[in-house]
Amino acid sequence: MIDVSQRLEELDWIPRPRLLALRRLGIEKVEDLLTHFPRRHEDRTEFPHFPREESEIPVCLCGEVIKTSLRRFGGWKKIFEATLQESQANALSEPLVCRWFNLHYVQKMIVTGQRIVVFGKPRLRGKRICMDHPEFEIIENDNEMSIHFRRITPIYPGTEGLSQRTLRSLLYRVLNDVVDQSLETLLPRALMNGNMTRAAAIRAIHFPEHWQERDAARDHLVLSEFFAMQMLIASRRADVSIRTGQAHCGSGALFTRFVKSLPFELTGAQHKVIAEIRRDLAAAHPMNRLLQGDVGSGKTVVAIAAMLLVVEAGYQVAFMAPTQILAEQHYDVLRRWLDPLCVRIFLRTAARQEQSGPLPLFADEDSHIIVGTHALLYESVSFSNLGLVVIDEQHKFGVTQRARLTTREPAPDVLVMTATPIPRTLTMTIYGDLDVSTIDEMPRNRGKIVTAVRDEAKLPEVLRFLRTQLEAGRQLYVIYPLIDESEKLDVKAAAAEYELWRERLHPFRCELLHGRIAPAEKQQIMERFRRGEANALISTTVLEVGVDVPNASVMLIENAERFGLAQLHQLRGRIGRGEHKSYCILLTSAQANEASAKLAVLERTGNGFEVAEADWELRGPGDLLGTAQSGLPALKIGNLKADVELMRRARAAAVSIFQADPRLESPENQRFRRLIVEQRGHTFSNVS
Ligand code: ADP
Ligand code: MG
């Protein structure tokens, strides 16, 4: 008899190499093994007849190997073929040819006379029905039939060093020995369907008796997973809501003067979100709000409005940007708009410390607004009375980092801003612990951005076009493909790239920008570009967020297929900021359909939310739940896209539990408290 919390090495019948292979998959405890869920199931209760036509839907077939052969092509490349005949062959049966290209190990495994099960798409090749690279399993003897065949059979993900069969046998035996009582049912009554326990669900997900049972088990396990996640989110929200806060809202006189001084009218959407923020600032409980808006929708102005309300009430503001360049830029923008209002601003980054205002300052305490990078989080900036923390471009900061600056008492109000729209259905998960304000309208004075995908072969034409734009006085960004600034930058390659562009654009002046340039110099380069002393900026993606040069209205992105859609949309947001018509050219050499479908989305729409929805359709959520950023556990079974309805139910259940018992004090809620503490890896303040 075994318990789910036991370590696998305590089970002495598991050979050591297996344990090591399991550990590589992150499976160390019995529970880890039981929650290594199948990625799909095969119906091996009865195999269909061999197909005589191709099909897009993969099928699972069983047959005997009647012939194998190995052919060479193109020198050293090999094709291994195994011809299968179905067990109950009749006059109409066609053999099936399974083919593997350059897979040495397959040819060693399959021999004539074996019975094997294959899974794949049947294709017509000449006159033969073929399956290329099918998944396969060899039937060794009839004893093992009951585990691997004649049933709905589980197929597991990522089993390097472990065959499907080994893993399946392991699970079969462990499930046989495990004590049901050690598998606690996590779901609250409201989410349970019938009375399937967690133990029953786990048994059924691995070895279901029939498809309905598999589906019910999956629903149970997905709901459990989502529920745990939503409880974690709800607990974060509860953490904030029970902390002591203060009202941080002035009368609005300063704010009104600021709005009057602007060279434009605020949009309706900006007014709407400012009102939402203002209500939060005026309330005694701490604000915890996300400001969401497409690139260029004017979030900075909204943030400044919030800051002024707080400053007027006599409190300080911390304004955090994800990069040095952005911190400097924000500082300059703030000074331009707020110096006339005598607001004292202090810039604090690793490279530069500066202050503004009518009086010389000697201490942070004297400043109203401190702008900085996340150095602000770690340095002991002595805020005397911090009222508001504004965090720009939230996706660059993690939840835990955010917590660092905001868990002081009394709690400051927190406004996080993001220009990365996410699909609506994801907001409840990724930003589930925040209230959300959305700017869903662009300022009217925006020039249009035309986006065009062009093949690299068209570069000469593209260059001619760029020159006409430069001649008309516009400025140009060239983004070259170095996706990740942390990738070791080959400075030589950057220099070569730069030389190339200087020649191409001669006699226009170019500047080079990349992540290895010292911050102070970067700042000077940006400044020269802003002043129009350079016509073109050849840059990596350091340019990505927030940079604002209205006269730069043309952007060329090289190897565009290498970037994600969201990132391309962000990059494109650097242009279309002035009154000029803007052009974004996506240069690509990729012939792949997938890449061109992806890039076509950007040609079609300029709306960030639509881009996000399309990206989500094409690619799935993948990195959106990246644990570092969301602070959420990775999903083992649920699918954020396919299981939206289950997520909604899980969320509703979690919210109602916290509504009824915000501190989780009642006896029946103790298991939920344990669930949260376990996920957080430590206690959480209002529950312990
Ligand atoms: P983002 O939302 O991407 O951070 P910014 O706040 O940087 O956008 O605003 C982009 C540009 O639009 C800035 O130059 C800003 O001054 C300008 N802007 C902001 N609000 C308006 C408005 N209502 N009308 C016209 N221009 C605006
Ligand atoms: Mg911005």
Q: Is residue 322 within 6 Å of ligand 1 at its C-beta?
A: no
- 573 CA closest ligand 1 atom index: 3
Ligand 1 contacts CB of residue 577 (under 6 A)? yes
Indicate the top mutation candidate among 260, 264, 575 to test ligand 1's pocket, ranked by most ligand atoms within 8 A of CB.
264
Q: Which helix (H) or strand (E) holds 659?
A: helix 644-660
Predicted pLDDT of residue 77 = 84
Ligand 2 ion: Cβ-proximal residues, 5 Å cutoff: 546
Residues (pLDDT < 70) of the chain are 142-145, 159, 350-365, 375-382, 393-409, 482-493, 543-547, 590-594, 619-632, 681-688
pLDDT (0 to 100) of residue 75: 76
Q: Is the CB of 603 under 6 A from ligand 1?
A: no
Q: Which two tokens stand for residue 403?
A: 């917590």
Share above pLDDT 70 across residues of the chain, in percent, rounded to a whole number: 86
Phi, psi of 82 (to 5 degrees): -125, 125
Ligand 2 centre to CA of 297 (Å) is 8
Residue 574 in contact with ligand 1 by CB distance below 6 A = no
- What distance in angstroms lies between residue 568's CA and the mean position of ligand 2's atoms? 16
Whose CA is closest to atom 9 on ligand 1? 298
> What's the pLDDT at 21?
92
Any ligand 1 atom below 6 A from CB of 300: yes
Of all protein residues, the one whose alpha carbon is nearest to atom 12 of ligand 1 is 298
How high is the pLDDT of residue 544? Answer: 53
Q: pLDDT digits over 108-160, tens only?
A: 999 999 999 898 999 999 889 999 999 888 888 766 667 887 789 999 987 67
In whole angstroms, what is the distance from residue 92 CA to residue 74 CA?
A: 36
Query: What ligand 1 atom has the least distance to the C-alpha of 300?
Result: 6
CA-nearest of 217, 194, 197 to 206 is 217
Give the phi and the psi of residue 286 in degrees, each rounded to 5: -65, 140
Residues contacting 182, CB < 8 A, separation 6+: 3, 4, 5
- Sheet with 413-418: list strands edge to edge: 353-355, 345-348, 369-372, 316-320, 386-391, 413-418, 288-293, 435-439
Q: Which ligand is nearest to the CA of 266?
A: 1
Spatial contact of 84 and 70, defined as CB atoms under 8 Å apart: no
Q: Is the CB of 394 under 6 A from ligand 1?
A: no
Atom of ligand 1 nearest to the CA of 301: 6
Closest protein CA for atom 1 of ligand 1: 296
Quote the pLDDT of residue 483.
Answer: 46
State which ligand 1 atom lies nearest to the alpha carbon of 303: 6
Ligand 1 nearest atom to the CA of residue 267, by list position: 23
* 240, amino acid identity: V
Ligand 1 centroid to residue 421 C-alpha, Å: 17
Long-range contacts formed by 601-605: CB under 8 A, 24+ apart: 601/565, 602/451, 602/453, 602/565, 602/568, 602/569, 602/572, 603/451, 603/452, 603/453
In whole angstroms, how far apart are CA 77 and each of 106, 134, 338?
14, 19, 69
Looking at ligand 1, which residue's alpha carbon is closest to its atom 23? 266
Ligand 1 atom 15, closest CA: 298
In whole angstroms, what is the distance from residue 651 CA to residue 635 CA? 15
Whether 186 lines ligand 1, by a CB cut-off of 6 Å, is no
Instruction: Determine contact, residues 456/587, Cβ cutoff 8 Å.
Output: yes
- Test site for ligand 1: of 301, 337, 551, 579, most ligand atoms within 8 A of the Cβ: 301
Q: Pull the structure tokens for residue 163.
A: 């065959």
Give me ligand 1 centre to Cα 526, in Å: 19
Closest ligand to Cα 292: 1
What does pTM read for this prediction?
0.72
Tokens of 651: 């969320």
Q: Whose CA is nearest to atom 17 of ligand 1?
A: 298
Q: What pLDDT score does 156 carry?
A: 92
pLDDT confidence of residue 358: 40
pLDDT given for residue 50 in this prediction: 92
120 lines ligand 1 (CB under 6 A): no
What is residue 365's predicted lDDT score, i.e. its pLDDT? 58
> What does the pLDDT read at residue 688?
40
- Residues 653, 678: Cα–Cα separation, whole Å: 19
Does the beta carbon of 299 sit less than 6 angstroms from any atom of ligand 1?
A: yes
